[in-house]
Amino acid sequence: MELLKICPVCGYDQLYEPPYNEYDEPTYVICSCCGYEFGFDDSSRGISFEEYREKWIEEGSPFFNKKKKPSLWDFNTLEKQLSNIAKVNYKSRI
């Protein structure tokens, strides 16, 4: 099984490592786009991907790491990025 470097919360496809390793353990990588930390937000804080995504979108989908924010960050870009979620097989731990 290929471990994709796509965030299952927001669909950001440029994570520097997969959210979970080959043993299904969290890597504690933080998504540069939505700010979700795999292993902390899910395992420690009990926040599902869906809950976090909903709150993040309600807050206007702010880009977490301003240095990595694309020059064009709008609703159309977000909508396209969210479609990446269908490509991943990571399941929320909640």
Burial class of residue 81, CB neighbours in 10 A (0-12, 13-18, 19+): buried
pLDDT grade, residue 41 (50/70/90)? confident
pLDDT grade, residue 5 (50/70/90)? very high
Q: In the prediction, which pLDDT does 1 show? A: 62
Q: Is it the case that residue 85 has pLDDT exceeding 70?
A: yes
Q: Is it the case that residue 17 has pLDDT exceeding 90?
A: yes
Q: In the prediction, which pLDDT does 24 show? A: 87
How confident is the prediction for the chain on average, in pLDDT?
91
Residue 62, token pair as written in the block: 């702010």
Percentage above 90 pLDDT, the chain: 73
